[in-house]
Structure 1
């Protein structure tokens, strides 16, 4: 039976992951919190799930590589340098990194990509997300994931074609850009809407997370799927066969 190690086990997601491992009938190898040594948990796991912090990512990747085991990375707010480190690790082990492990969000991103590819740039795309008051990064990793799906559907790069944090006299909307709005408050687990606004009609594709267990269940499913794969970078759509 596969054993799963959790990095970031003391956080809310870490506790949800422990419940999801149990619900899936898998073995929990244990977990580490802030200040823990990832090599300790990697040594007794078949796969790691990391929902810790960007600052811990290099050590977590190194532990997975040294142990020769896969790792699922759900940590958000990671940088280009972090992505480069993930690319390096993926030459030695299977790595699945995503801004959202929800199976529903994975399917939503697929629908957004398809919609953006079929509709022209005259359809404006806006992404609105809301999370609990304790979330520290914005836009959310999920919002960026959805923006990347829209950009991929249009065959463009997201970074130079996105609008964030509008304020003041901004001028008219730049055609073809993808807009983001981030809301924070209360205990919202996660709400995301992708609005495609055309002339006299509008399409809204939405996902509402009722609690963190949806992310935990998706991460555990991805972890089990990743075991035995060849080294490389993998995605949640591959887990669903999309």
Structure 2
């Protein structure tokens, strides 16, 4: 039986891709799309429910899984509304504050909620294997991260870079917030032993590049993930939607739960 889905921001770059891929997937049924007031032009061609108000749309699509890649405040609000109506939701929005993540977790107590700052399978496999690399190399290796995204990306560092940094810090037994260094400028002195630097680059139409550097005595290891298309993120989100449709509320689900 196909999983019913609703796409938020269906006229945006990511939303349009999600809607198109959902329509081509035999295991999914696109039952609704939602856009901001005044931005829903042309969506009637999708032959599903079209709305600029999620609260009015959800009673027409009971149980449908909402997929949202919009903006932090909008995604958190969406999850609250979804919780009130009992609709599961998948959130791929990045740049959420700790408070907003806590808000999502609260909504997850009422309805299944899935959130991942990066939906690609490759990145999430890296999150599983990088701790082993860190532990095998030992503390003689300094850890740094660089991330590159298109010039329209609003948050920095990327949610993926932060997630990778948290993963690497945890493998060292560190608290990421205590060791992160998101900016270096001026005469800053020697690099502290317990530090993870994150360099942010923005330009052009880069979908997303992330490189982890391990600087050791006499050698350097680089592990890089490059996203060639946003389709990899959309595919991961739709995979999550299928999986989430059979879950129960009670926790904020992530990619690790699928694996």
TM-score using structure 1 length? 0.94
Q: Secondary structure at the match of 2:193?
A: coil
| Partner residue, 1:95 | 113
* Rg (Cα) greater in structure: 2
- In the alignment, is residue 77 of structure 1 matched against residue 79 of structure 2? no
Q: Could you give the per-residue CA deviations for residues 164-213 of structure 1, whole angstroms, max 9, x where no partner exists?
A: 11111111111121110011111111111111111112221111111110
Query: What's the offset of the Cα at 1:97?
Result: 0.9
- In the alignment, is residue 235 of structure 1 matched against residue 236 of structure 2? no
Matched residues in 2 for 1:148 and 1:39: separation? 35
| Partner residue, 2:211 | 193
5+ residue gaps, structure 2: 38-51
Query: What's the offset of the Cα at 1:82?
Result: 0.3
TM-score using structure 2 length? 0.88
- In the alignment, is residue 14 of structure 1 matched against residue 15 of structure 2? yes
Q: How many residues align?
A: 240
| Partner residue, 2:242 | 224
| Partner residue, 1:132 | 150
Q: Secondary structure at the match of 2:90?
A: strand
Query: What's the offset of the Cα at 1:38?
Result: 2.1
Q: Secondary structure at the match of 1:142?
A: helix
Query: What's the offset of the Cα at 1:221?
Result: 0.3
Larger displacement relative to structure 2 (66-75 or 21-30):
21-30
Query: CA contact under 8 A between 1:3 and 1:28: conserved in structure 2?
Result: yes
Greater RCO, CA 8 A, separation 6+: 1
Q: Secondary structure at the match of 1:16?
A: helix
Larger displacement relative to structure 2 (32-41 or 224-233):
32-41
| Partner residue, 2:200 | 182
Query: What's the offset of the Cα at 1:219?
Result: 0.5
- In the alignment, is residue 4 of structure 1 matched against residue 5 of structure 2? yes
Instruction: Choose the corresponding residue for 1:161, options 165, 169, 179.
Output: 179
Matched residues in 2 for 1:158 and 1:22: separation? 40
Query: CA contact under 8 A between 2:157 and 2:200: conserved in structure 1?
Result: yes
Instruction: Please show how residues 95-134 of structure 1 align to structure 2 within 5 Å.
Output: 95-134=113-152
Off by >3 Å, runs of 4+ in structure 1: 40-43
Query: What's the offset of the Cα at 1:84?
Result: 1.4
Query: CA contact under 8 A between 1:126 and 1:194: conserved in structure 2?
Result: yes
Alignment RMSD (CA, Å): 1.5
Query: CA contact under 8 A between 1:57 and 1:82: conserved in structure 2?
Result: no
Larger displacement relative to structure 2 (183-192 or 144-153):
144-153
Query: What's the offset of the Cα at 1:50?
Result: 1.0
